[in-house]
Amino acid sequence: MQIEHSIVIKRPLAEVEAYLTDISNDSQWQEDVFESAITTTGPIGEGTAGYEIRNIMGFPMRTEWVITGYLPGKSYTFTSTQSMVPYEGTVEFSAVPGGTSVTYRFTMIPQGLMAILDPVVSLVFTPRFMQNLEALRILLEEKQ
């Protein structure tokens, strides 16, 4: 399952990037995240690791991930290291007139029985993914 969505946030690029790379903010804009943290020390960059606990269909699911690439002011990529369904993603930033364009790409890599359920999972997650990005836009635009 692949999801890609772009939004424009009426805030400066540096502010949007700082907010999104602070993983502790995830529960503020992602409806199903109730805990997230970085588990390594030092500044955000390649090798930074962390976890999230999400509410998936009423059950808590912990996933662990690592940042596999980071280009300050441009993008970061991440991949799961422990997850029921392996995943990877990219977040890209670019300055546009009046704000910042954010493109979020997310790919789940289901295996076994989960691969059969991929179309159903896509139907559930794609709208939520888009709703979460809209919540991010509203949150950051209202933030002063």
Place of tokens 């990877």: 88
- CB-CB contact of 22 with 38 (8 Å): no
The residue extents of the domains of the chain are 2-142
CATH architecture of 2-142: 2-Layer Sandwich (3.30)
The helix/strand/coil state of 9 is strand
pLDDT (tens digit, 0 to 9) for every residue of the chain, 144 residues total? 788 999 999 999 999 999 999 988 999 999 899 999 999 999 999 999 999 999 877 889 999 999 999 999 999 999 999 988 889 999 999 999 999 999 999 988 767 666 666 666 666 777 888 999 999 999 999 976
Torsion sign, CA atoms 65, 69, 70, 75: negative
CA angle (136 as vertex; 135, 142 as ends), nearest 5? 90
